[in-house]
Structure 1
């Protein structure tokens, strides 16, 4: 299966960050399974909101970025595809709310971000 690694990544993300459990369960119910690229819209939205609000009791957005960086470094093409196309590509552009998160990207994600969006 071409996206088995990406499905495992989503399942691991939800296990590590239980704040995503409700969204994940609704996603699986509505889509009849895990569609990693689609689910990552939820991931990105929650990370950006947590970054902007920066509530110590909220989602650990730094932890999510670290998790994604680890997954990226794992090198699976389907995982990299989801992280690149459905997370990094959708980050805010310069001057938009939450753009500062790009300065917080761990090394591997920052490198990919600069590759796919050299102008920010």
Structure 2
């Protein structure tokens, strides 16, 4: 197979992933740059890439939280906690062990990419809400 035969198209995002990202940007307009940066060829956001840049912005704000212009990192954590819990409850009737597209996105693109122990910004992990913390400990039992 030659290089010209390879299809480099990115698999489109699930609607639930796009909805979560758009809700974040709507609630936190400071994330608009990250959103626009990660628009795919079809003018649809690429959620995993968006979350990567959002984490960088979030952690920088956490580390510089005494500055007036910092992103409200705690409000974003609260938003994700609420979104995660509501999505789980809506799907299962309770916060449980059932996984979905949104769970997968938050687990892999957000929780799994937070700073590791011993790196700058790791302290933000201690501010996760109870539902996100439970999932964080499942995917990263050693922090």
User: TM-score, length-normalised on structure 1?
Assistant: 0.91
Residue segments in structure 2 that go unaligned for 5+ positions in a row? 1-11, 92-99
Alignment RMSD: 1.9
Q: How does 1:5-44 map to 2 (within 5 A)?
A: 5-28=16-39, 32-44=43-55
The aligned counterpart of 2:84 is: 72
Distance 1:2 1:38 in 2: 11
Write 1 or 2 for the structure with the bigger share of helix.
1
Q: State the structure with more CA Rg.
A: 2
Distance 1:19 1:30 in 2: 23
The aligned counterpart of 1:93 is: 116
CA gap of 1:56–1:33, structure 2 versus 1, over 3 A, is same
The structure 2 residue matched to 1:84, chosen from 95, 107, 115, is 107
Instruction: Check whether the contact 2:34–2:54 (CA below 8 A) recurs between aligned residues.
Output: no
Distance 1:95 1:31 in 2: 39
Distance 1:80 1:25 in 2: 23
Q: Find runs of 4+ consecutive structure 1 residues off by over 4 angstroms.
A: none
Instruction: Check whether the contact 1:37–1:86 (CA below 8 A) recurs between aligned residues.
Output: yes
Residue segments in structure 1 that go unaligned for 5+ positions in a row? none
Which structure has more relative contact order (CA 8 Å, sep 6+)? It is: 1
User: TM-score, length-normalised on structure 2?
Assistant: 0.77
The aligned counterpart of 2:72 is: 60
Number of matched residues?
120
Distance 2:137 2:118 in 1: 17
